[in-house]
Amino acid sequence: MSGPARQSYRVAPVARVGGAIRVPGDKSISHRALMLGSIATGETRVSGFLASADCLATMTAMRALGVRIARPAEHEVIVTGAGPDGLHASAAPLDMGNAGTAMRLSMGLLCGQRFSSTLIGDASLMQRPMERVAKPLRLMGARIDTREGRPPVVLHGGATLHGIDYALPMASAQVKSALLLAGLAATGTTRVTEPAPTRDHTERMLAGFGVPVRRAGACVELAGGQPLRGTAVQVPGDFSSAAFFIVAGCLAATDGLTIERVGINPTRTGLLDMLRLMGARIQVRERQDAAGPEPLADITVHAGPLRGAVIPPELVPLAIDELPVLFIAAACAEGETVVTGAGELRVKESDRLAAMAAGLAAIGARCELLPDGIRIVGGPLRGGRIDSHGDHRIAMSFAMASVRATAPIDIDDVANVATSFPGFPEVARAAGLALDEANGA
């Protein structure tokens, strides 16, 4: 008996990429707009919403909790807020699909509710660690059960939360955000200290909903009991999605490739600094028509020689999701590139360090896997077959490697690309990649 069909890509080499493209809305901001809009008073209108599998899972969960959410258009969402006490228990476990952000932030959002909730996900998400969020939430008074540190996550209702002063043991925007969301329902002040800067979408969006968030150095804090007011949220193009084409442009955009209307929140753009260290030619033109707290820009890249670099560890938290495609750039650069301090990649949708090292070796790149990073020596790439391990960022990264390969690259198990980048094949082809889709056993 044959197994189920698996989606795959075949990406043939091309001489160049170029033109102007747009990428879908930012996943991190779309998740947060739904969640904060759900507990706000009044109406929240979201434009540029990312209609991906991950964000739709969050939408389904919020509806199951009693929130009215309308979609007048594919990328437009209207959330009628239930207010801080208006959510109610779901009749079934809340299925977060493949969305780790949705699960971890929901732990903070729901742990102080009067009712219990159970959070589950797909096979990948059910294997991912949740205790890094559960432990500090328990310090706030939450009652949370996990199964050996992994989902299902059971949040017991009726817990009384109190603010804490918590130093994150490792940089994590998801843990920080979960604590701040729990802090909204807690007594006193919740204060989080970061060992390194992480993306600050939650802080920016809370301010947009009328909740002041104070930052002093590495500390961010808010006072509990503050109401949220519905607002308008404009979702910019997702920088993490743009990252794939930024790298492709650095490798093959002889006449330039422009990615339009991309969010350039400075806590997200570490990849630009890393590529510039390697000699990349990148222009960022900030747009003046941005609405809301998130800056917006058109990013143009031109092909040119890249050189290897030792990536400063302080940049790593600012590019954790973009590191897989940075490794593709490193494999095409002259000399050696070393990335350390990236142990977080081992607990993403896959062990991204191991998956990238195996994939690079399969197409002829020289690399050495390190405990918390990787060493890559640039050189010619050949074609080959890549197992993406069902990880959307692994699949899209190796699609970009095709611009320097000598033969087609076949990428297996790519269905989860839709979790963050619906329409990826079409955008890739618009940029000039020779990408074909197929189903195989």
The residues that are catalytic are: 321
DSSP 198: -
Residue 287 has phi, psi (to 5 degrees) of -90, 145
Sign, Cα dihedral of 199, 119, 36, 421:
positive
Q: Is the distance from CB of 192 to CB of 47 less than 8 angstroms? A: no
Task: Give, in degrees to the nearest 5, the angle at Cα 195 between 192 and 201.
Answer: 60
Which residues share a beta bridge with 192? 166, 220
In whole angstroms, what separates CA 226 from the centre of its chain?
28
Residues 6+ apart with CB under 8 A from 51: 24, 74, 75, 422
Tokens of 386: 């890549």
Residues 6+ apart with CB under 8 A from 184: 39, 84, 211, 222, 224, 225, 226, 228
Rounded Cα–Cα distance for residues 31 and 377 (Å): 37
Nearest to 271 by CA among 243, 309, 298, 297: 243
How far apart, in Å, do the first and last CA atoms of the chain sit?
Answer: 10
Nearest to 381 by CA among 319, 427, 327: 327
Tokens of 439: 């189903």
Q: Is the distance from CB of 57 to CB of 84 less than 8 angstroms? A: no
| Strands lying side by side in the sheet with 19-22 | 19-22, 257-263, 296-302, 281-286
Helix (H, G, I), strand (E, B) or coil at 120: strand
How far, CA to CA in Å, does 76 sit from each of 33, 35, 259?
12, 15, 21
